[in-house]
Amino acid sequence: MTQDALIERLSAIVGSDKVRTDADSLQTFGKDWTKVYEPKPSAIVFPKTTEQVRDIVLLANECGLQLVPSGGRTGLSAGAVAANGEVVVAFDYMNQIAEFNAVDRTVKCGAGVITEQLQTYAEEQGLFYPVDFASAGSSQIGGNIGTNAGGIKVIRWGMTRDWVAGLTVVTGKGDILQLNKDLLKNNTGYDLRQLFIGGEGTLGFVTEATMRLTRPPKNLTVLVLAIPELDDVMKVLNQFQSSMDLTAFEFFSDKAMSKVLARGDVPAPFESNADFYALIEFEAITDADMDLSMSLFEQCVENGWVVDGVISQSETQAANLWRLREDISETIAQWTPYKNDISVVVSKVPPFLREIDEVVTREYPDFEIIWFGHIGDGNLHLNILKPDALPKEEFFPRCNKVSKWVMEIVQKYDGSISAEHGVGMTKKAYLPYTRSEAEIAYMKAVKAVFDPNNVMNPGKLVDM
């Protein structure tokens, strides 16, 4: 198909003002936050309805086009990068929030609704959308669903998967499916909705979703604890979790915190230092909750697990304590960190982390390792900082070697090579470290059912 014919056919579907081929748009909409692949889409198309998406998919099947979905483009695995002349389907105009239902506590969103837009909308209704993460200001609901986005509150509220009441999707065959009809209980065979959640747009594109909301948390209170021994972090987790419903249990290393503190705009939580810190958040609804948390804290001190701690007395203090954890990513960005997003079951975190730390330190003693993550979920963000003196060209190939070692350790510990960032293109080669050969074969067969001509986000997740 010539470029002119392509533009004509796409324009016939969405209108000529909703097809872009200028260099800027191709560059912007052809990529996500990864910088590994050069974007090279052939066109960007902006549908406004599910039916237009269907017509684009039918055209793709007819003419052998390949389609890449584009949401907030905040992905970290190149799941939404168009590097091979694909047509990018951008959901920016499908950003309506509609049909709020106060009794069901659900809200219907176009795929292009921005996470923060939904969070704010929920707040305005006196409710709460609990999935939250650093890119909430730009990421879109469709992308969140495609990658089953997680974030900082998973321990209490789960992943995006847990908040999807119903989905409208266009499959790779061009069928429009209404999945689950927003029901809480619906045991009528295979829950196909679950395949599209986390499916990275490879089976079809989500065009609309009904999301659940919940009651807002009350008086979220933050404890930051200094914990010298990694094993004791897990004991502290267990101690707190067995008597309280935590809303977050995050951790970060002293190296991570010292980078944040060095910026000078976040106060140190206390004078003590320890190799690790835990950030615990909970609802202090009554004084009893506060008392319980203090008594748990004291027990942790008595047991020798914790050497210092601080508890927030106000929302501002809570926000400042959160910055110790949340500012890490942005703070270390200047060192061009090599990132891995891995997970194991919670109980295996200490030996798993130690083994990776040892291997990297042994092989590359000049590399600085920054650990942080959602330790209550077993999800660790491993960040390796580029030594200032080392050129990028040497740093990244050495990191690729590190990745191989890391993935082998992930496999040894029955872990996940991608806890929350998805597979896309950058993790594809590592998929067999988490999923068996047989599983991958079934995944390909499932893909062929929904997208027999491989038009939906080809080259992501699995190769057909």
User: Which of residues 58, 83, 177, 307 is near its own copies by CB under 8 A?
Assistant: 177
Q: In this complex, which beta carbon is closest to its own copies, that of residue 199 or of residue 458?
A: 199
User: Which of residues 8, 38, 175, 366 is near its own copies by CB under 8 A?
Assistant: 175
Residue 446 contacts its own copies per CB under 8 A: yes
Q: What single-letter DSSP state applies at residue 456? A: B
Count residues binding its own copies (CB under 8 A): 85
Residue 147 contacts its own copies per CB under 8 A: yes
Q: In this complex, which beta carbon is closest to its own copies, that of residue 124 or of residue 388?
A: 124
For the record, the structure tokens of 353 come out as 């982390």
For the record, the structure tokens of 114 come out as 């921005």
Strand-pair partners of 252? 277, 372
User: Which of residues 28, 101, 219, 317 is near its own copies by CB under 8 A?
Assistant: 101
Q: In this complex, which beta carbon is closest to its own copies, that of residue 124 or of residue 265?
A: 124
Residue 449 contacts its own copies per CB under 8 A: yes
Q: Using CB under 8 A, which residues numbered 413 to 432 contact its own copies?
A: 414-423, 427, 431
Residue 124 contacts its own copies per CB under 8 A: no
Q: Using CB under 8 A, which residues numbered 285 to 304 contact its own copies?
A: 285-286, 288
Q: Using CB under 8 A, which residues numbered 355 to 414 contact its own copies?
A: 374, 377-379, 414
Q: Least distance (Å) from its own copies to the CB of residue 186?
A: 4
User: Which of residues 182, 208, 281, 326 is near its own copies by CB under 8 A?
Assistant: 182
| Tokens 């050497």, located at residue | 307
Largest CA distance in the chain: 74
User: Which of residues 236, 306, 406, 461 is near its own copies by CB under 8 A?
Assistant: 461
| CB-CB contact of 43 with 21 (8 Å) | yes
Q: Least distance (Å) from its own copies to the CB of residue 284?
A: 12
Residue 197 contacts its own copies per CB under 8 A: yes
Cα separation of 165 and 412, whole Å?
36
Among 165, 249, 156, CA closest to 211: 165
Q: In this complex, which beta carbon is closest to its own copies, that of residue 1 or of residue 292?
A: 292
Residue 69 contacts its own copies per CB under 8 A: no
Q: At 250, phi and psi to the nearest 5?
A: -105, 160
> Quick one: which segment of 15-23, 64-72, 257-265, 339-347 binds its own copies (CB under 8 A)?
339-347
Q: Least distance (Å) from its own copies to the CB of residue 48?
A: 23
Q: Using CB under 8 A, which residues numbered 267 to 286 contact its own copies?
A: 285-286
**Cβ of 271: how many Cβ atoms within 10 Å?**
7
Cα separation of 93 and 87, whole Å?
16
For the record, the structure tokens of 433 come out as 């470290």
Half-sphere exposure (CA, 13 Å, Cβ side) for 377?
26
Residue 238 contacts its own copies per CB under 8 A: yes
Residue 217 contacts its own copies per CB under 8 A: no
User: Which of residues 243, 258, 295, 303 is near its own copies by CB under 8 A?
Assistant: 243
Q: In this complex, which beta carbon is closest to its own copies, that of residue 190 or of residue 388?
A: 190
Q: Name residues whose C-beta falls within 8 Å of residue 256's C-beta, 6 or more positions apart in sequence.
A: 328, 332, 370, 371, 372
For the record, the structure tokens of 379 come out as 């999800």
Q: Using CB under 8 A, which residues numbered 35 to 64 contact its own copies?
A: none
Phi-psi region of 454 (alpha: psi -120 to 50; beta: other; left: phi over 0): left
For the record, the structure tokens of 121 come out as 């909308």
Q: In this complex, which beta carbon is closest to its own copies, that of residue 145 or of residue 324?
A: 145
Residue 245 contacts its own copies per CB under 8 A: yes
Among 377, 420, 323, CA closest to 79: 420
Which H/E stretch holds residue 4? helix 3-14
Q: In this complex, which beta carbon is closest to its own copies, that of residue 321 or of residue 407?
A: 407
Task: Give how far Cα 362 sits from Cα of 354, 366, 382, Å.
Answer: 12, 9, 16
User: Which of residues 106, 119, 135, 453 is near its own copies by CB under 8 A?
Assistant: 106
Residue 25 contacts its own copies per CB under 8 A: no
CA angle 404, 405, 410 (to 5 degrees): 95
Q: Name residues whose C-beta falls within 8 Å of residue 16's C-beta, 6 or more positions apart in sequence.
A: 7
Q: In this complex, which beta carbon is closest to its own copies, that of residue 168 or of residue 383?
A: 168
Residue 463 contacts its own copies per CB under 8 A: no
| CB-CB contact of 34 with 60 (8 Å) | no
